Amino acid sequence: MLRSIRLAPTKHLSARVSARAGLAVASAAALAATGLLAAAPAGAQASAAAGHALRTHSASAMTPAASGNNLAYGGGNIVSSPKIYVVYWGNQWGTGSTVTNDPSHEASLQLSFFQHAYGSGDSWSNSQTQYCQGVSVGTTQCNGAGTAVGHPSANPVAGTWLDSSVKAPAKPGQSAIAAEAVKAAKHFGVSGDNVQIIVDAAHGVVPSGFGTQYCAWHDHTSTGTGADLPYTNMPYVSDAGSGCGANFVATGSSGVAGGTEGVTIVGGHEYAETLTDPAPSSGWTDSTGSETGDKCAWVSSGQGASSIISMNGANFAVQSLWSNNFGGGAGGCVSSYTSATNQR
C-alpha cells in the first residue's frame, strides 16, 4: 500500500562508520572551476559524515575529475528492485500529517523528481543497470551476467511520512539519523537492500558537517530484526546555497528554479550510489573508493557536465553518473543511457 502524507500546496520548484561519506559542498571560487569531483579516498572523509558522502565543492576541488579508473564489484549486494521511502523528520516540517514549513519547496520538488525516475522516460539513471551482483569480485563489465541493478517500470516512491511526533535535533549526528531511518522503516513495515529510506531534515536543522564538509551522505544500518537497511541523510540542501548546487546549471527556459537545483543534483547522486552500493563499500567502487556519483560530481563543462534533463515530461537538474562501458569500456560520465552503444 502506498503510504503518503499531504504536502501544503506549493509551486513546483532538489567519520566513516560502516562505509564512507557522500556529496560535498563548494565555495564560490570552486564553482567557477571545471571538472570538480566529489569523493576522497576511504579514510580521508570527515568524521562528521558517516557512510559515503557527497563532499562540498570546496572539498571536491582538490580531487581530479573521474580519477580511480572504472568501478569494480566488491562482492556485496546491489538494488535489484528499487523502492524509495521518505521521512520528513520532526515537527519542524509541520504538525499532524501536513508539511507546512518548507520555504524552498524542497519536499514537493524531491518527491516529483523521484516520481518521474522510471521507465523509458528516465534515461538518466538507466546507466546504472549495467552493474550487477553475483559475479566475481573485481568484475568491471557484467555483460548480462549476474543480477542487474533494477530500473523501475513505474513510480518508485512507495511511501512518505511526516514524523511530527518529535522535534528533530538542531544538529543531529549519524546515530540519531540512523535511528530515525529505523523508526521510519518500522512505520512503513520495510527492510532489506531494495529499500532506500531518505531522512529529510527540515529548514534550519543542520546535521553535523552539512554545508562545510558534505551536502548529503548514504549508509546502511540494521533494523530491530537484524535486516539490512540502506538510508540517506538528506539535509535541507538549499540552506547551503551554491556550496550544494544552487545555480550550478544554467536553467534557460527549462522552468527549473536555480536556487533549488541542488535538491535533485544531490538527491540523484545519493540515489544512484544507493542503487549500486547500498551497503558501502561492498558494491561498486573504484580503486580510490569512489562510487558512481562521486566520479562525476560537480562537473561543470565537457563530457558529463551537470545539466537539465527531462524525465517523463518534467525537467530537473542532475549530475552525470559513471558508466564503465562508455567509450568501448574506457569509462566516463554520462547523463543519458539507452544502451552500451547509445549513451552520452
Across all residues in the chain, what is the average pLDDT?
87
Considering only CA atoms, which of 284, 305, 288 is closest in space to residue 296? 305
pLDDT tens digits along 216-232: 999 999 998 999 999 99
The CA distance from 226 to 24, in Å, is: 30
Q: pLDDT at residue 169 above 80?
A: yes
The whole-model pTM stands at: 0.87
CB-based contacts of 189, cutoff 8 Å, min separation 6: none
The CA distance from 88 to 97, in Å, is: 10
Whether residue 196 contacts residue 114, with contact meaning beta carbons closer than 8 Å, is answered with no
pLDDT tens digits along 307-340: 999 999 999 999 999 999 999 999 999 999 999 9
Which cell numbers hold the place of 237?
A: 540542501
* First and final C-alpha spacing in the chain: 37
